[in-house]
Each structure stands twice: as structure tokens, then as C-alpha cells.
Amino acid sequence: MQRQLEPRLPVKARLAERPLSIGKVARTARRNLLEIIPELATWQKMVSGRLVKRWHMVMDPGGLRRILRDRVDAYPKAAITKSILRPAIGESLFIAEGGHWQWQRRAAASAFATRSIRNLAPVMAAATQTLIDRVRRSAPGPTDLCAEVTAATFEVISDVTFAEGTGMERQLVHSAIDSFVNNAARASLLDVIGAPEWIPRMNRLFTHPDVREMKRIATQVIEERRVSGRCVADLHDLLASGVDPETGRRMNPIELRDNLLTFIVAGHETTALALSWSLYLLAFDSCAQDRVRQEAEAALAGDIATPRDLEHLPFTRQVVREALRLYPPAALLLRTAMDSDVIGGREVRPGDTMLLPIYALHRNHCFWKNPDTFCPDRFSDPNIIHSHAYLPFGAGPRACIGSGFAMQEAVIMLSALIAEFHFSPVADRQPEPVMILTLRPKGGVWLTVQPVQRS
């Protein structure tokens, strides 16, 4: 009897096959945070242990709901998360806790309402056309699509945040963000053992000039806008005019700057990664790529999608959702237990570290059939997806406020790219899933680009 061949799988991270020592965890975390996740986490609902502190890795949807939704105040973000990000984005929405977070979220809500996001589609369409023109100049031949879509999404978030013509030094901001992520965001041994924040982490000392420059640029643009009185209905104006309906509070200049920088950093990174991995997967699976192209040609007739067109691109959206399952940008979340609790039948004590490995959750055999395969059709009926087993944007009150923005932009750009070009893999240039702050394709996403021949 002939042995059946295993299906070819897209790239995945090498998870830990045995327990790691403190030193090994520190070295591994600096290289790739995903590799500290045990392979066991893709087969079980919860894994616990001790590494200086007690820790619990939670993949159980009920436990995740309790941490992220039902008892969110009892599980604040871990000190390491705040220590890494605070120098760049202050006490903004992403870091703030309790009442300080609540009023900011309420004040920012209207800026990310569905109507506001739909109104941003022309900015996304313009950046998409520029992206198509750049990719066309590189065809036929190999191109790093990760670099291309990152440039496009940064153009979008820059125009959305500070409208074009405001004088923001965009390249300097982009360079500062890259420097910050590549250096300051790497965990150190001091982070792993839970050392106090006041003890300096050497890898973060050298990024302060970049962070200061990024803040200087943002502060300058905000002040210029205040003095000019110019109103352009961009994210700056929406946040500056946003009011917490319960307290009447508005953001002061520092709070406004820190939140705008948060959205610049997260707003382009999430979409760029979703697009990069979607393009890699469609090059990996030419049949799925053909389905996206046929859908785009039928729905768009050569145009770039508008918000009204998105409902006619269901398979394209499924591809993006599946890419976010296999390669979630926020692939590992950290929380600290403040109270005694029981999660998944296990005792949780105050001070325990709660690790929420979204990467392992999305590949957990308890909740997904053939979890390592690329199968966009698993999202053809979203109602059958296990509650809190799919969390690319988090969950509960602290779920990503910009998830609608990211999905709209990703579907618009992906449908346009696939309609214009055929993508195929470049031999010996496979991306490697590596997480420092977000899950990025190390080495880029190199694909051979061929213009689509239309009859």
C-alpha cells in the first residue's frame, strides 16, 4: 500500500519542544518570542510552570474570555509590556489602565466609528494606486512585497493621522519606529525575571534619541495645527475634538501626541503584516489566488474597491482572516493576575504571569481542524468559529479600536493587487515568522511578480 503524502504546509515557527532555563528563555525571547511557546500549547488548553514567577499559558476560550472580558480589571497588561512601550507612546490607550484608559477610549470612539472609517476609503484607494504603480515598475521579477505594502500602509496612516501637506517628516518617523521595534522592543533577562522598571535595560538606552525625535516631530505638527486653526477632518482633528461623554474631558497636547503616535505605529504595522502574509499565502496557494482574482474582477471591473464593494469580496476577506489566524500580528499577549482566581480549573494567585499565546491558540488542535494548513474557507461561516478561539485583535473592552480600519484597508489593497498581478514564490527565499513586538516575516516576503494578462 502506497504511503499517503502529507500536505505541503506554509511556514511556521519552531516552538519549544522541552522546558527552557531562564538563560535560554532570555536568549530565545530576544531572537524570537514565538520560540518560547511550548509545542504542547497547540494541543492543550492550558500550560503552567514557574520561571522565577509562576506563569500560566492560557489557550482555553473560556479562560481567555474571563481574562480579556469578564475580569479585565483583574488582569492588567504586564509590566514588561508597559516598560517597553511607555517611552514611545506614554500613557496612551494601549498602555493606560482603569479610569485613565476608559475616558480615552470613550473620547476616541467616534474617530473609529464605522462611518469615520468608511470616509477614509479614498485615502486608502490613492495609496493603493501608488502601490500598484510601484509594483508594476518592478515586474516582471522578484520583489519584497512586505517592504512595498509597509510603505503603502505607512502612507495611509500618515495621511489619515496628519493630512498630506502638514509638513510631518514622515521618513524620519518611519525610521524611528523601525529602530524602536528592532531594539527597544526586545525582551532582556531583566524583563524575564521581572526586575523593577527603574533598572536600565541596555538595549533601550540607545533608542531614546529616536523616540525623542519622533515625539518632537509629532509635537511640532500638533502645535502648527493649533496655531494655524486649520481643520481637515483627519485623525488629529477627530481626536483633538473628541470628548468623553461621561466626564467632558478632552485630550491635552501630550495625550493627543501619544495617542496619535500609538495609531501611527499600530495602524500601519497591523495592516502591512496582514497584507504581507496574505500575499505569501496566495503565492503559496495559486488556486486560492485565482479565486481572489476572479472575485475582484467580477466585483470591481478594474477599479479599486470602495466601502460599498467590500460586501462583494467575501473570499478576499476570508483570506485576510485566515492570514491573521496563521500569523496574528499580536501573537503573544501578557497579563498579570491581581487577584486570586481559577482559570481552566487551576489556581491563579496574585502576581502570576498570564501568557496568552494567540499564535498557539490559532493553531490549537482542540479548536481547529488541520490548524497548520491554509484554508480560507474555514471562515465562510464565521458563526461556526469557536468563541474566543480566534483573537487577532484581542477581545473584550480592550480589543483593538482600529480593527475595522485594518480590515477595510487590507481588503481594498489585497483585491487590487491580485487583480493586477500574479504572484509566485521565489525559490529559497521563504519568510521566517519572527516576533519581537509583532509577528513579522523575517527576510521579507519575496515574490515573483507578473502582470495579469487580460484578453
Query: What residue segments make up the domains of the chain, in order of their start?
Result: 75-330+392-450
Structural contact between residues 338 and 98, judged by C-beta atoms closer than 8 angstroms: no
Mean pLDDT of the chain: 88
Helix axes 208-228, 170-179, angle to 10 degrees: 150
Q: What is the mean pLDDT of residues 88-99?
A: 90
Spatial separation of the C-alpha atoms in residues 121 and 59, rounded to whole Å: 36
Q: What is the pLDDT of residue 164?
A: 58
Structural contact between residues 40 and 345, judged by C-beta atoms closer than 8 angstroms: no
| pLDDT, greater one: 1 or 275 | 275
Q: What is the mean pLDDT of residues 25-32?
A: 82
Spatial separation of the C-alpha atoms in residues 153 and 128, rounded to whole Å: 9
Q: What is the pLDDT of residue 188?
A: 56
Q: What is the pLDDT of residue 225?
A: 79
Structural contact between residues 270 and 329, judged by C-beta atoms closer than 8 angstroms: yes
Burial 204-218 (b: 16+ CB within 10 A, else e): beebeebbebbbebb
Task: Tell me: pLDDT of 4 over 70.
Answer: no
**Range name among 108-117, 141-150, 293-302, 317-326 with the lowest pLDDT average:** 108-117
Q: Omega before 140 cis (within 30°)? A: yes
Percent of the chain having pLDDT more than 70?
90
Q: What is the pLDDT of residues 385-414, one digit of tens each?
A: 988 999 999 999 999 999 999 999 999 999
Q: What is the pLDDT of residue 2?
A: 46
CA distances for 324 relative to 13, 52, 247, 270, 299, angstroms: 15, 33, 36, 9, 24
Cell of 32: 524570537
Beta strands 46-51 and 432-435: pairing type?
Answer: unpaired
Task: Tell me: pLDDT of 37 over 70.
Answer: yes
Band of residue 27 on the pLDDT scale cut at 50, 70, 90: confident
CA distances for 443 relative to 47, 145, 161, 286, angstroms: 31, 11, 29, 22
Please give the radius of gyration of the chain, using alpha carbons only, rounded to the nearest integer: 22
Q: What is the pLDDT of residue 337?
A: 96
Structural contact between residues 211 and 87, judged by C-beta atoms closer than 8 angstroms: yes
Percent of the chain having pLDDT more than 90?
63
**Range name among 82-91, 146-155, 309-318, 330-339 with the lowest pLDDT average:** 82-91
Q: What is the pLDDT of residues 164-204, one digit of tens each?
A: 555 557 777 777 777 777 766 666 545 654 555 545 554 55
Task: Tell me: pLDDT of 227 over 90.
Answer: no
Task: Tell me: pLDDT of 1 over 50.
Answer: no
Q: What is the pLDDT of residue 352?
A: 94
Name residue 53's beta-bridge partners: 51
Q: What is the pLDDT of residues 119-145, one digit of tens each?
A: 999 999 999 999 999 999 988 889 999
Residue 49 phi/psi, 5-degree rounding, is -175, -170
Residue with cell 484608559: 101
Cell of 139: 515586474
Q: What is the mean pLDDT of residues 149-153?
A: 94
Q: What is the pLDDT of residues 337-363, one digit of tens each?
A: 999 999 999 999 999 999 999 999 999
Cell of 298: 467580477
Overall residue count recorded for the chain in this entry:
455
Cell of 376: 480560507
Long-range CB contacts (within 8 A, 24+) of 17-24: 19/49, 22/51, 22/52, 22/189, 22/192, 22/193, 23/189
Beta strands 446-451 and 141-144: pairing type?
Answer: antiparallel
Structural contact between residues 15 and 39, judged by C-beta atoms closer than 8 angstroms: yes
Band of residue 159 on the pLDDT scale cut at 50, 70, 90: confident
Band of residue 327 on the pLDDT scale cut at 50, 70, 90: very high
Query: Alpha helices, DSSP H only, in 32-169?
Result: 61-65, 79-89, 98-108, 114-118, 121-138, 145-161
CATH class of the 75-330+392-450 domain in this structure: mainly alpha
Structural contact between residues 410 and 274, judged by C-beta atoms closer than 8 angstroms: yes
